[in-house]
Amino acid sequence: MGFRIAVVGSGAIGSYYGAKLAHAGSDVHFLMRGDLSVVRRDGIFVRGEGENFRIAKINCYNSTSDIGPCDLVIVAIKATSNHDLVDLVPPLLHEETMVLTLQNGLGNEEFLAGHFGAQRILGGLCFIAVDRHSKTEVERYAYGQVILGEFGRPAQPRTHGVGAEFTRASVRCTVTDDLALERWRKLIWNIPFNGLSIVAGEIDTAAIVGDKNLRALTLDLMEEVIGAANKCGHPLPKEAWRKHMERSETMSGYKPSTLQDWEAGKPLEIEAIWGEPVRRAAAAGAKMPRTEMIYELLKKLDQVRRSQ
């Protein structure tokens, strides 16, 4: 397709998928404000089972104005920094620029649509275990996949074009006609594992799965998410939890992204992953008491940490 691509947010997700696209020959431009000099000097290393490569020459910048208009803008910053996008994204836009958010949780497409127009917005869900060990090193622990969809409408020819770009980069990618449904499907994993990894004492996925009580609570949370999704009009089957649990049992002690943020002292995506689902469920007449408990605990823990 020959897309000119901008990656806004060069943490684990942005660095990994941006590097994969660049390695496959896509025209990728990274916004890297704090890490610019190191990445320009050393490039980006990607490691994982079945792949080990370095992108030596990185198109990276400390300003989106220096990048200029692109055909596809990949948003990979944390949802806690969405307010920054109001100024960061406009220099990257031309009349037909697509804006693809790879962020977690609910509400990100709505935020972007409100500022840049709903017709531009796509969403992507990244089912992957990946960690950024340093400014230049990314390690992928489990392959997973990317699911792409349009905000508020079925897939378009352009959606399949973006999917083909990822596929060409050896990223397993599928396209959905119901992005909102897939957002809730991903919450089946994100709500319990990201939450329990912190409130249960900064533990990884293996510790959660391996503890009888935490495993039972995880399953209860998953069923709660499935029930809320159905109440909100997103029909997930009762057994939708099963693949998530099976995948988690193969992760070998992966630290979920929220735990990584917590340990690094970064803001947590509390509202996008827990708050917004609870609010949407309540508006639809559904209750999520376990999810709401984790939501309140995370808010309190975050408040205490920020006050210290």
Q: Residue 128 in contact with residue 144, Cβ under 8 Å? A: yes
Angle at CA 30, nearest 5°, toward 25 and 36?
Answer: 125
Residues with a catalytic annotation lie at: 186
Q: Which residues, in sequence order, are CB contacts of 125 under 8 Å at separation 6+?
A: 102, 146, 147, 182, 183, 185, 186
N residues, the chain: 308
Q: For residue range 82-126, what is the model confidence (pLDDT) as tens digits?
A: 999 999 999 999 999 999 999 999 999 999 999 999 999 999 999
Q: Is the dihedral of CA 167, 251, 204, 19 positive or negative?
A: negative
Q: Residue 231 in contact with residue 281, Cβ under 8 Å? A: yes
What is the C-alpha separation between 234 and 195, in angstroms, rounded? 22
What pLDDT, on the 0 to 100 scale, is given for residue 143?
67
What pLDDT, on the 0 to 100 scale, is given for residue 1?
54
Nearest CA-CA partner of 199 in 77, 290, 103 = 290
Nearest CA-CA partner of 120 in 66, 160, 156 = 156
- Rounded to two decimals, what is the model's pTM? 0.93
Q: Which residues, in sequence order, are CB contacts of 148 under 8 Å at separation 6+?
A: 100, 122, 123, 124, 155, 159, 162, 163, 166, 173, 174, 175, 176
Average pLDDT, the chain: 94
Q: For residue range 193-202, what is the model confidence (pLDDT) as tens digits?
A: 999 999 999 9
What is the C-alpha separation between 236 and 245, in angstroms, rounded? 16
What pLDDT, on the 0 to 100 scale, is given for residue 247?
87
Domains, the chain, ordered by start: 4-177 (3.40.50.720), 181-307 (1.10.1040.10)
Strands 51-55 and 60-61, sheet pairing: unpaired
Using pLDDT thresholds of 50, 70 and 90, give the confidence band for residue 213: very high
44: enclosing H helix or E strand? strand 44-48
Q: What are the phi and psi torsion angles at 169 (to 5°)? A: -90, 15
Residue 54, burial from CB neighbour count under 10 angstroms (0-12, 13-18, 19+): middle
Q: For residue range 25-63, what is the model confidence (pLDDT) as tens digits?
A: 999 999 987 778 899 999 999 998 888 999 999 999 999
